[in-house]
Amino acid sequence: MSVIGWVKGQISTLPYPDEDCTGRTVIVTGANCGLGLEAARHFVRLNAAKVILACRSIERGEAAKQDIESSTTRRHVVEVWQLDLGSFDSVKDFAARAAKLDRLDLLLNNASVLANEWAMLEGHEIMMTVNVISTMLLTVLLLPTLRRTGTQFNVTPHVTIVSSDAAFMVRACARRRGALCVADCRDFPCQASFPERKADHTFDKLKENKNYRERYNTSKLLQLIFMRRLAEASDASGKGHVLVNALNPGLCNTQLFRSWSFPLSWVLWLVCAVLGRNPEMGSRTLMTAALAGEETHGQWMSSCKLQVWPKVMRGEQGERLADKIWGELAEILEGIEPGAMENI
């Protein structure tokens, strides 16, 4: 993809969601603002029976609920549940509560963090904890509830992960040392350099404060890796089909970059102001993936179209890396909640 192609994609009008969601129960993580809020608003507008805003802050979640109810005039649909992806206990408590739902048709894993400073949560770097480990933990713990819904109501439950084309970016590629590569070089799109993939234990290596500026890109790459492997493993288990996919919402004018400091914050603000999708337009990418058909199972989308994988995920090398990441994540999840991987 060239820069011109990327710009055209950014400014294009995406399809407006119109699928009837009557009767469905939906969970949207990180739904108090930005893309998550607008996606939740769409689900309410499309007649979903229950839309759960999974938010770290109940106060902000309640404000989002009031905003949605005011704009859609639908009451008694939105519920606000606390979910802190920085706490494994919070994830487990949320999943236990969700297991008591009459049905769960869709889990939209929208919440992510882009940290500007080094920090650790639950023994891992914050972006690894929130974007990768907790997101996978929540998904795995909710699989039985999703499958029960599929069987009882004869529907196909969905899990959708909001990833990013940051998975294709490198901080310092061979041609542009020291710069974020978003240029139209011959090898674009390229992959996050991700040197930690070569370590004996990748997630232990990611606990070190090295290559930190690439960590968000790496977390988004890992999301794609575990999403594809989850789709394969879930099918192979024979326990019931759950459609699993991922998407890139593109550059959106949201609060994702709120922690960045001057002068980069100003640069990002300017780029977002000129080329960024507004939250409602960006949310259409979430809705397209969340309501998509079987052709997207184990795949990922950008600008509402299926996309190729980052190079690091392709071929025999990509399979070996996927095996490694999947195995390490399984070990981590079993340490958090013994027996969790049996849900798959």
| Predicted confidence (pLDDT) per residue in 55-85, tens digit | 999 999 999 999 999 999 999 999 999 999 9
145-190 confidence digits (pLDDT tens) = 999 999 999 999 999 999 988 777 634 343 443 333 433 333 334 4
Count of CB atoms situated within 10 Å of the CB of 177: 9
Number of H helices and number of E strands within the chain? 11, 10
183, part of any domain: yes
The letter for the amino acid at 39 is A
Q: Name the token pair of 131.
A: 């974007």
CB proximity list for 278: less than 8 A, separation 6 or greater: 252, 253
pLDDT above 70 as % of the chain = 84
Domain with 79 in it: 22-249+282-343
**Residue 332: predicted pLDDT:** 98
277, part of any domain: no
CATH number at residue 87: 3.40.50.720
CB proximity list for 342: less than 8 A, separation 6 or greater: none
17, part of any domain: no
Task: Count the domains in the chain.
Answer: 1
CB proximity list for 46: less than 8 A, separation 6 or greater: 17, 18, 19, 20, 21
**Residue 187: predicted pLDDT:** 38
Which residues of the chain have a pLDDT value below 50?
170-192
199, part of any domain: yes
Q: Per DSSP, which regions of 68-113 are E strands?
A: 78-82, 106-109
pTM of the shown model: 0.89
**Residue 13: predicted pLDDT:** 83
Q: From CA 230, how far away is CA 235, in angstroms rounded?
A: 8
**Residue 38: predicted pLDDT:** 98
**Residue 176: predicted pLDDT:** 40
10, part of any domain: no
- 266-296 burial: b if 16+ Cβ within 10 Å, else e: eebeeebeeebbebbbbbbbbbbbbbbeeeb
262, part of any domain: no
**Residue 213: predicted pLDDT:** 81
Q: From CA 39, how far away is CA 290, in angstroms rounded?
A: 10
275, part of any domain: no
The catalytic site residues sit at 163, 216, 220
312, part of any domain: yes
